[in-house]
Amino acid sequence: RNSVSAAKDRSAEVQDGFDPASLLSLWDGFVLFNPGIGHPNLAKGWVPTLRYILKTERPVLMTAHSHLDSERDWSVLKATMLDLGQDERLQRWGGHCDDDSEQNPYRVNPFASRLEYEDPFCEADLDLGGEQDGSKYVRPNMFSLLLD
């Protein structure tokens, strides 16, 4: 049976036997709300799906809970695109420099949730909240990135 499943830990995995090419003509792009592809507990589960999504070269809209979340996700996206030979695509988003400095293209999302909550996975010394206040509070969809 062909299916894409999302696990309780919010990671996704393309199931064996799934032929996404049969449905790809129906998909204009992908939306990943706060996927946590760079989170240490979730990253491994995202590898096959992320590689598939990037190989399609379809637009991808992603959001992140916090600046740290966006930095981790961007680091994984950048490494995966380089691994797939998508240097030119990466340059379009401003994520590749000659000096290899990190340029996070995520931006504050004006449509983010106004609800804040304390991140239950936040260690006391981590800054997961806003860039200015150093809090461990996050907002769903606080940052967004459109890869086209």
Pairing of strands 117-118, 137-138: antiparallel
SS (H, E, C) 37-63: CCCCCCHHHHHHHHHHHHHHCCCEEEE
Residue 143: partners with Cβ closer than 8 Å, 6 or more residues away: 63, 64, 65, 66, 67, 69, 70, 106, 107, 108, 109, 112
The alpha carbon of 89 is separated from its chain's Cα centroid by a whole number of angstroms, namely: 16
**Confidence tier at 122 by pLDDT (50, 70, 90):** low
State the pLDDT at residue 36.
92
State the pLDDT at residue 135.
58
**Confidence tier at 94 by pLDDT (50, 70, 90):** low
Q: Round the average pLDDT of the chain to a whole number and report it.
A: 77
**Confidence tier at 148 by pLDDT (50, 70, 90):** confident
What are the backbone angles phi and psi of residue 4, rounded to the nearest 5°? Answer: -115, 130
**Does position 125 have pLDDT exceeding 50, yes or no?**
no
Q: Are 96 and 87 in contact (CB under 8 A)?
A: yes
Q: How far apart are CA 106 and CA 40, in angstroms?
A: 19
pLDDT tens profile 14-70:
555 666 667 677 788 999 999 999 998 899 999 999 999 999 889 999 999 988 899
What are the backbone angles phi and psi of residue 121, rounded to the nearest 5°? Answer: -95, 0
